[in-house]
Amino acid sequence: MTTQAKPHKRLYSIPEAAEYLGRSTWSVRRLIWAGELPSVRAGRRVHLDVCDMEAFIENNKVRENAA
What is the model's pTM?
0.80
Cα 37 to Cα 30: distance, rounded to the nearest angstrom? 9
> pLDDT by residue (tens digit) across 31-51?
999 999 999 999 999 999 999
Tell me which amino acid residue 14 is.
Answer: I
SS3 49: strand
Q: Tell me: the pLDDT tens digits for 4-35?
A: 666 688 999 999 999 999 999 999 999 999 99
d(CA 21, CA 60): 12
